[in-house]
Structure 1
Amino acid sequence: MNHQETRESTAARHGRRTRDGAAAGHDRAARDGTAARPDPDTRRLAAVMHTAFFLLLGASLARYLIRHPGDPATTWVIGLSAGLAFLYVLGGPVAGDRPTPRRLLWLGAVVGTWMVLVILAPSFAWCAVPLFYTGLRTLPPRPALALVVALTAFVVGAQLRLANGFDPNLVLAPPAVAAIAVAVFVHMQRQSERLAATERSEGTLAERQRLAMEIHDTLAQGLSSQQMLLQAADRVWDSDPATARAHVRTAESFADRNLAEARRFVHDLAPADLAGGTGLAPALRTLAERESREGLAVRCRVEGTELPLPDRVQSALLRIAQGALANVREHSGASTAVLTLVHFDDQVVLDVADDGRGFDQRAVAAAPRAGVRGHGLPAIRARVAQLGGTLTVESAPGEGTVLSAAIPLETRS
Structure 2
Amino acid sequence: MPRSWTHGREDDLAERFREVRALTDALAAPLSDADATVQSMPDASPAKWHLAHVSWFFETFVLRDHVPGYRPFDPHFAYLFNSYYEAEGPRHARPLRGMLTRPTLAEVCAYRRHVDEALMAAMGALPDEARMLVTLGLHHEQQHQELLLTDIQHLLSLNPLEPALFDAPSALPAPVPETLHWIEGREGLVEIGDDGRSGFAFDCEGPRHRTVLHPHALAHRAVTNGEWAGFIEDGGYRTPALWLDEGWAWVRAHDVEAPLYWKRTERGWTRFALDGRRPVNPAAPVTHISFYEADAYARWAGGRLPTEAEWESAAQNVSPVGGTQLDGAYCPRPRAAEGTPALTQMFGDVWEWTGSAYRPHPGFRPAEGAVGEYNGKFMSGQFVLKGGSCATPRGHVRASYRNFFHPHQRWQFTGLRLAKDL
Q: TM-score, normalised by structure 2?
A: 0.24
| Higher relative contact order (CA closer than 8 Å, sequence separation 6+) | 2
The structure having more radius of gyration, on CA atoms, is 1
TM-score by length of 1: 0.24
